[in-house]
Structure 1
Amino acid sequence: MTGMSATAVLHSEWIKVRSLRGSFGSLLAVFIATLAVTVLVFPTVGQAEADNGEDLLFGAFYALNFGQIAVLAFGATAVSSEYLNNALRVSLAAVPNRNLFYAAKMAVIGACGLVVGLLTVFATFLVGQAFMGRYTLDLGDPGALRACVGGGVYLALMALLAAGLTAVLRSAVAVLSILVPFLLIVSFVVGDIAGSVADFLPDRAGQQVLYQHTEGFLGPWAGLAVTALWAAAAVLAGWWAVRRRDA
């Protein structure tokens, strides 16, 4: 067991995600919750909201506000499970190389977030547009394909952000208690007070990729790059914590 290859470690991490109800359930919830909100909201108020003159492309992804909470829960629970019932000691006994263990875990979390994120964003866009009447967009419209691909990447980055922070704090509850209020409340408050400074917050920066006509200082890909830097910082902090702390 001590000589496990990178492929074997990746497979073992995928088995953990698939077999743990907390992490796998959160991963499924990304798709289910986002699509459910889309189906409930767009037939009733979709066209009415479009009448207000908001960016139609960004409005198409309204339900991602709920999906991103689920993807944060996925990233957090996929890591926090290692700190329950001495599971981390068992994992490190099987994979003594902590760098390999941590890299494989982050790779699987990122890959799962990306695949489910892309499926979620494309499905949300296509289903929502079926109810938009004269406001309907399609993938050939300016920015639409970029928004769908970028939205999937954004969800994967948010999963990694939560995963890295959980490796530092060792608690999904603590991480979600920080990130969820931050995304739902603090980000908007900072935006109202600090103006362009808020463009560099992880959610606001990454969501620039969803706009047809971008707002603020950052463009779509620059905004996504800022979110990637936030995620990378969290993952690196988590790597340091896993290497330095006792199991």
Structure 2
Amino acid sequence: MTVSPTAVLHAEWIKLRSLRAALVSLAAVFAVGVTITALVQASIEDPAGAIGEEFGGDRLFAAFYGVNFAHVAAIAFGTTAMSCEYVNHALRVSLTAVPDRTLFYAAKTAVIGAAALAVGLVTGFGMFLTGQAALGDDGLGLGAPGALRACFGTGLGLALTALLAAGLTAVLRSGVAALSILIPFFLIVSFVIGDTTGGAAEYLPDRAGAQVLFADPVGDLGAWSGLAVAALWSLAALLAGWWTVRRRDA
């Protein structure tokens, strides 16, 4: 039986829309990122002084204060969207409908990535515009050096994080297991490693992807090369997940 890629994509889109937990996580990417950024920016009484002290003087990076929290929500979305296949043997049903495991996996990850990218782009622009509006006359505009790049880069980075989470979930066949690894990694481990290993930490996915948020990236990686390193991490997870789906029993 031959199933068209368009039909599989449509089926995966319907499946994603039916997952309430995934939709809540996806909405949280925007809500958490924008809300935290706006609240923090609104609480700054002396933008120049506070930003100089806490963010090394990079006002563009400071404009995306809530991005780490948005990445946590993106992890939750990626794991939830993929882990539904491992509940009550749902994967068997999916593979019965789509025997081509590569097509099934490609369609599923494509839908996850597209949804995360769409919301990520809205989140990136939302964080920047809302946060800078809260600063009034002290805020930056989209015409500021690197602002558009950072907004688009935020969307790409969030999509890559969701795909990293989806790939790892496919490998572990458990959303809980993937969450227990990725959330501490993004919130804690990366900073601990950064304090002990110096430059090597720049190549971790969260730190590499964050380079696109700086007006003047520091370290060995530039804005887009840092995002490329993050993309390699996601690609490795997706390939490992693809291998797992192809080789293991449903």
TM-score interval, smaller chain: over 0.9
- Cα distance in 2 between the residues matched to 1:226 and 1:51: 28
Task: Answer yes or no: is 1:49 the counterpart of 2:50.
Answer: yes
- Cα distance in 1 between the residues matched to 2:61 and 2:40: 15
- Cα distance in 2 between the residues matched to 1:190 and 1:10: 39
Contact 2:52 2:58 in 1 (8 A): no
- Cα distance in 2 between the residues matched to 1:151 and 1:36: 16
How far did 1:39 drift? 2.9
- Cα distance in 2 between the residues matched to 1:26 and 1:45: 29
After TM superposition, list the pairs within 5 Å mapping 1:63-102 onto structure 2: 63-102=66-105
Matching residue of 2:138: 135
- Cα distance in 2 between the residues matched to 1:158 and 1:102: 17
> 1:192-233 CA deviation, whole Å, 9 max, x = no partner?
111110010000000100000101110000000000000000
TM-score where L is the length of structure 1: 0.96
Task: Answer yes or no: is 1:184 the counterpart of 2:187.
Answer: yes
After TM superposition, list the pairs within 5 Å mapping 1:189-228 onto structure 2: 189-228=192-231
> 1:126-175 CA deviation, whole Å, 9 max, x = no partner?
01001224431111111010111111100000000000000000111111
Partner SS state of residue 44, structure 2: helix
Which has the larger displacement, 104-113 or 38-47?
Answer: 38-47
CA RMSD for the aligned pairs?
Answer: 1.2
- Cα distance in 2 between the residues matched to 1:32 and 1:134: 25
- Cα distance in 2 between the residues matched to 1:4 and 1:24: 27
- Cα distance in 1 between the residues matched to 2:14 and 2:36: 29
Contact 1:61 1:125 in 2 (8 A): yes
- Cα distance in 1 between the residues matched to 2:62 and 2:38: 14
Contact 2:95 2:101 in 1 (8 A): yes
Match among 230, 238, 242 for residue 239 of structure 1 = 242
- Cα distance in 2 between the residues matched to 1:129 and 1:151: 16
Matching residue of 1:168: 171
Q: What letter is aligned with 1:45?
A: I
For structure 1, list consecutive stretches of 5 or more residues without a partner in the other structure.
none
Contact 1:50 1:135 in 2 (8 A): no
- Cα distance in 2 between the residues matched to 1:135 and 1:65: 24
> 1:92-145 CA deviation, whole Å, 9 max, x = no partner?
111010000000001111111110000001011001001224431111111010
Partner SS state of residue 134, structure 2: coil
Matching residue of 1:123: 126
Task: Tell me the number of residue pairs that the alignment of Structure 1 and Structure 2 aligns.
Answer: 246
- Cα distance in 2 between the residues matched to 1:192 and 1:123: 31
Match among 59, 63, 68 for residue 60 of structure 1 = 63
Partner SS state of residue 61, structure 1: coil
Paired-residue identity, %: 62
How far did 1:49 drift? 2.7
